[in-house]
Amino acid sequence: MNNTSKTNAINFLRGVPSEEALSRLIPIVSEGYAKVVERYGTEVLQYGHFAGFKPLRELIASLHHVNPERVIVGNGGLEVISLFFKSLPLGSNIIVEEATYDRVILDAKRYGHHLIGVKLTTGGLDLNQFGEVVKKNVVSAFYGIPYHQNPTGINYTEENRLAVERVCKEHNIFCVWDICYQDLRYDGKTNRKIDISEWGPILTSSFTKTISPGTKCGYIIVPDDYVGHLSRIVANTRINPNLPTQAFIVDFIESGRYDDFLRYLCELYKPRMDVLNTAISTHFPGAFPVEISGGFFAPLTLENISIDNESAFLESAKDAGVGIAPAWDAIAPNFKEEIRKKGLFVRLTFPAYEPNKIEWGISKLKETVALFD
């Protein structure tokens, strides 16, 4: 490794919040946990309800205008999604986007489900392909990320999202929207909240990116007639989630400090996002499907990096101080071969790094790619 890369290094691998944001939370968390333990006493120290801390379930329900019984709160977004997958019949067909959250793909496979990817456009799901898949298969659920999609960064248009919901409703398919990035938009605009009816859609989210990874709290809102079935799965899987943390989140939101913190995050991450967009359009023109407007991730396909030279390229990038990895686990099984032919597919994260570090990392990545031309 040369001297420059010893002092300059960036790891684009993990979507973690910035250290500045976490440090800003320390006094808030210290005060908040002490406050809620005093307020609720042994209620948050004893065994509690398997569906989560009642005041938090009620608060989430009020924000989404649903019955609190429909809300299940757990130890992170992935846990509640996993519990939902566990509740489906073994070997169910689940439709996902062609590229999506890799842990969802791995978890669904763990329960023996079959994943069918549908192509993404810059405005959401390819509705023609979606309709064809639904006609040819008995599908139990669709899972999608409508805002700042992981890993492509796209936003569904409202028309596209509603069309997906209509198809799901017509074919009795659970429509699951993961809205964990909904509030993390940095371009000055606001993402529209998704309306929930008695039918659905199912919403799931997490406080991991908006508060901290260590908070480990997420929730899912399911239809009335599915509450009983999913509740039995939850009750037979674990006892209760982390109640002190859930009590802290209630206080954080009710105090107004959560909204203040979200505004701070959006201001903090905007210049980092702007630099990422500029750097990639400069060094890899045409590689972006869309400009990133929020969230934590951006995709990049390196066309001249093939399966044959992938390992050597990754090692060269590491020597240059740039940590990246193939994102093949994020690709739906039926799209892997097609996307592999286009080159190395990687996922870049940006919120944890200063703008100058992001610019340096993208330029170094370009220099490394040039070595393999």
Query: What distance in Å separates the CA atoms of residue 34 and residue 230, rounded to the nearest whole number?
Result: 33
User: Mean pLDDT throughout 124-131?
Assistant: 98
User: Mean pLDDT throughout 357-369?
Assistant: 97
pLDDT value at position 7? 63
Sequence ranges of the domains in the chain:
3-24+259-370, 39-257
Looking at per-residue pLDDT, the higher value among 290 and 217 belongs to 217
The residue to which tokens 């489900």 are assigned? 113
Q: Within 13 Å of residue 304, how many CA atoms lie on the same side as its CB?
A: 10
What CATH architecture applies to the domain 3-24+259-370?
Answer: Alpha-Beta Complex (3.90)
pLDDT value at position 3? 41
pLDDT value at position 76? 95
Amino acid letter at 278? T
Q: Alpha carbon of 200 to those of 52, 172, 286: distances in Å?
A: 21, 11, 37
- The correct CATH number of 39-257 out of 3.40.50.300, 2.40.400.10, 3.90.220.20, 3.40.640.10 is 3.40.640.10
Looking at per-residue pLDDT, the higher value among 5 and 302 belongs to 302
Would you place residue 1 in the very low, low, confident or very high pLDDT band (cuts 50, 70, 90)? Answer: very low
3-class secondary-structure state, position 332: coil
pLDDT in tens, 44-54: 999 999 999 99
Are 295 and 184 contacting, i.e. CB atoms less than 8 angstroms apart? Answer: yes
- Identical fold at 3-24+259-370 and 39-257? no
pLDDT value at position 5? 43
Amino acid letter at 255? S
Query: What distance in Å separates the CA atoms of residue 159 and residue 163, rounded to the nearest whole number?
Result: 6
pTM of the model as a whole = 0.96
pLDDT in tens, 75-115: 999 999 999 999 999 999 999 999 999 999 999 999 999 99
Evaluate if residue 292 carries a pLDDT over 60: yes
Please provide the DSSP assignment of 170-206 as one string.
HTT-EEEEE-TTTT-B-SS--PPPPP--SS--EEEEE
pLDDT value at position 277? 96
Please provide the DSSP assignment of 69-104 as one string.
GGEEEESSHHHHHHHHHHHSPTT-EEEEESB--HHH
Q: How far is CA 276 from the centre of its chain?
A: 19
pLDDT value at position 14? 79
pLDDT value at position 288? 78
Q: Alpha carbon of 124 to those of 159, 178, 201, 289, 362: distances in Å?
A: 9, 14, 16, 12, 27
Are 335 and 99 contacting, i.e. CB atoms less than 8 angstroms apart? Answer: yes
